[in-house]
Amino acid sequence: MRGKSFATLAGMANENSGLALKTNANANANATHADAAGGAGLGHANREPGATPSRSVTPFPGDPATITVGEVMSASPHTIGADQTLARAHEMMRALRVRHLPVLSGGKLVGVLSQRDLYFLETLQGIDQDKDTATDAMTSDVYVVAPSDKLADVARNMSEKRYGCAVVADVHGRVVGIFTSTDGLRVLAGVVE
C-alpha cells in the first residue's frame, strides 16, 4: 500500500509516537537535510556491525545547566537507507536494540523511523513489510539540533512537544548523533546521583 493514504496513516503514527516535527531554533537551518557520512545505504560510523551501544549511568560532574546535547547524545547513530524495506528496519532495530533510525537518501537526512511507527503499521491491511520502504513510514519533519545546544532547551522542547528523539547534526548538516528519551533518563540518573 503506497501513496497518500499510506502517508496519512504513517503521519498519524508519527504524531502519536511523539517524534520530532521542527528544527531546533538554535540549529543550523540546513540541518534538516543533513549530509550524513556513510552515503545512502545502511550506515553507522565507528561501530561494529551488530554492536549495541553500551551507555552506563555516570554521575555528571559540574553544573547540569551547562550540559550540551553533544556531551550526552548517542554518537554515530545507526541509520537506514530510504529505500530499505520495513522488514529490514525491524531486523535492524531488533539486532541493534534501538528504537529510532535516522533515514538517509543520498547521504542526506530525510526522516526518522521509529519502532512505534513500525508496530502501528503492522496493524494495517495492505502493508507489505518486504516491499514497503522506510520512506513510506518515516516522519519527514525531523527535530534536528546542534551538538552545542543546551540539553535543558532540547529536553524541554522534547517534553513539551512529546518528541521521542532529536537528531544531532553538525554545522555541515551531517548526522553526528541522536538524543532519545532513554538518553535523557540516563542523564537524569547521572545528575541526581
Residue located via cell numbers 541493534: 96
The verdict on residue 54 lying in a domain is: no
pLDDT exceeds 60 at position 135: yes
Query: What is the residue range of 114's domain?
Result: 4-48+61-192
The verdict on residue 12 lying in a domain is: yes
3-state secondary structure of 189: helix
Average pLDDT over residues 82-95: 95
Question: CA dihedral in degrees (153, 157, 159, 164; nearest 10)?
Answer: -110
| Range in 15-24, 94-103, 106-115, 127-136 the model is least confident about | 15-24
pLDDT exceeds 60 at position 13: no
Query: How much of the chain, in percent, has pLDDT values that exceed 90?
Result: 51
Distance CA 109, CA 116 (A): 20
The verdict on residue 56 lying in a domain is: no
Q: How many helices and strands, by DSSP H and E, does the chain display?
A: 7, 7
- Secondary structure in 3-state letters for 71-134: HHCEECCCEEECCCEHHHHHHHHHHHCCCEEEEEECCEEEEEEEHHHHHHHHCCCCCCCCCCEH
Amino acid code (one letter) for 83:
D
| Range in 32-46, 105-119, 169-183 the model is least confident about | 32-46
Name the band, by pLDDT with cuts 50, 70 and 90, for residue 55: low
For residue 108, with 0-12 CB atoms within 10 Å meaning exposed, 13-18 middle and 19 or more buried, which class applies?
middle
pLDDT exceeds 90 at position 155: yes
The verdict on residue 91 lying in a domain is: yes
* Cα–Cα–Cα angle for 67, 71, 74, rounded to 5 degrees: 130
Distance CA 90, CA 115 (A): 7
Q: What is the pLDDT of residue 42?
A: 35
- Per-residue pLDDT tens over the stretch 121-132: 888 888 899 999
Which CATH number does the domain housing residue 178 bear?
3.10.580.10
- Per-residue pLDDT tens over the stretch 158-180: 999 999 999 999 998 899 999 99
* Cα–Cα–Cα angle for 87, 181, 71, rounded to 5 degrees: 110
Which tops the pLDDT comparison, 40 or 139? 139
Which tops the pLDDT comparison, 6 or 187? 187
Average pLDDT over residues 129-139: 92
The verdict on residue 142 lying in a domain is: yes
Tally the domains of the chain. 1
State the chain's mean pLDDT as an integer: 76
Other CB atoms closer than 10 Å to residue 155's CB: what's the count? Answer: 21
The verdict on residue 55 lying in a domain is: no
Query: How much of the chain, in percent, has pLDDT values that exceed 70?
Result: 68
The verdict on residue 134 lying in a domain is: yes
